[in-house]
């Protein structure tokens, strides 16, 4: 959120470990790299299968103007494999995730690691897989409304990110980064627990916007208001809880 490079107060041990995907395991003990590869392969296959069922001469809309009119078109392979290519790029970036990570206070015996790479992966996956589904539906001839899809996509992303917030440990890359969360581990923990309530609620509200019958030109501003309200609430809470924990009135 706020990229303020303020040192974290106190002694936070750092360990020199391999990239996050090498040490991160799911609850079954399977490395997360396997799960990421499965998701990547499935997304690529979905694009290939959809392209094979699309006319070779088809031009698929990949960008729309503010009025909702399609203004950029691409061939079937570019349109349907663009999102999988971006996901593959994200996967490669996560392989180069910095070795120095903040130690995570998780269950005894569980490998110490930051959840930031997992958070980035989940966000990127949701951000790309839903538009990919939209493009596939459009390529196969199904009628879709971009303005109705956008709040659903953003709502799901906010819900997924928010659900992971309580488990996110202090790190240099991802999270609610304010001077107060970066300066105190307790403030970080409590603020992200608060964010774990606020962002899923904001996400569900955003995803439900199509049910309110808003006109297409009001959907974007409504999403922006909800997102800014949730973000500012977390910033304000980090300031308030910092003052409370430090005995300031």
Q: What is the pLDDT of residues 56-87, one digit of tens each?
A: 888 888 877 666 677 788 888 999 999 999 98
To the question of pTM greater than 0.75 for the whole model, the response is no
Query: Helix, strand or coil for residue 2?
Result: coil
Long-range contacts, stretch 218-221, CB < 8 angstroms, 24+ apart: 219/147, 219/148, 219/150, 219/151, 220/147, 220/150
Proportion of the chain above pLDDT 90, given as a percent = 29
* Cβ atoms 39, 112 nearer than 8 A: no
* pLDDT recorded at residue 119: 72
pLDDT at residue 69 in the model: 72
Question: In 10 A of CB 84, how many CB atoms?
Answer: 21
What is the tens place of the pLDDT at every residue in 194-204?
Answer: 999 999 999 99
Q: Using 50, 70 and 90 to split pLDDT, how confident is the model at 21?
A: very low
Helices (H) and strands (E) in the chain, counts: 8, 4
Bigger pLDDT: 63 vs 21: 63
pLDDT bucket at 135, cuts 50 / 70 / 90? confident
pLDDT at 44 over 80: yes
Say which residue the tokens 């090498």 belong to: 22
Q: Hey, what are 100's tokens?
A: 């120095």
């Amino acid at each position: 959120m706020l990229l303020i490079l303020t040192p974290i107060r106190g002694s936070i041990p750092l360990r020199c470990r391999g990239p996050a995907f090498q040490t991160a395991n799911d609850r079954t003990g399977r490395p997360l790299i396997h799960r990421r590869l499965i998701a990547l392969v499935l997304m690529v296959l979905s694009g290939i299968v959809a392209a094979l069922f699309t006319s070779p001469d088809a031009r698929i809309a990949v960008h729309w103007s503010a009025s909702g009119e399609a203004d950029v078109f691409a061939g079937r392979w570019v349109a349907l494999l663009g999102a999988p290519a971006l996901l593959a790029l994200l996967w490669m970036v996560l392989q180069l995730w910095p070795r120095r990570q903040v130690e995570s206070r998780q269950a005894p015996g569980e490998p110490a690691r930051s959840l930031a790479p997992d958070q980035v992966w989940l966000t990127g996956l949701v951000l790309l897989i839903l538009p990919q589904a939209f493009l596939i539906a459009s390529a196969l001839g199904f009628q879709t409304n971009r303005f109705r899809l956008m709040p659903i996509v953003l709502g799901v992303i906010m819900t997924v990110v928010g659900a992971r917030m309580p488990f996110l440990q202090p790190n240099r890359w991802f999270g609610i980064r304010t001077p107060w969360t970066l300066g105190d581990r307790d403030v970080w923990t409590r603020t992200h627990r608060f964010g774990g309530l606020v962002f899923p609620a904001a996400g569900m509200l955003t995803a439900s916007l199509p049910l309110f019958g808003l006109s297409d030109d009001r959907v974007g501003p409504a999403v922006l208001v909800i997102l800014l309200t949730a973000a500012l609430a977390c910033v304000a809470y980090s300031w308030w809880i910092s003052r409370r924990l430090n005995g300031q009135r």
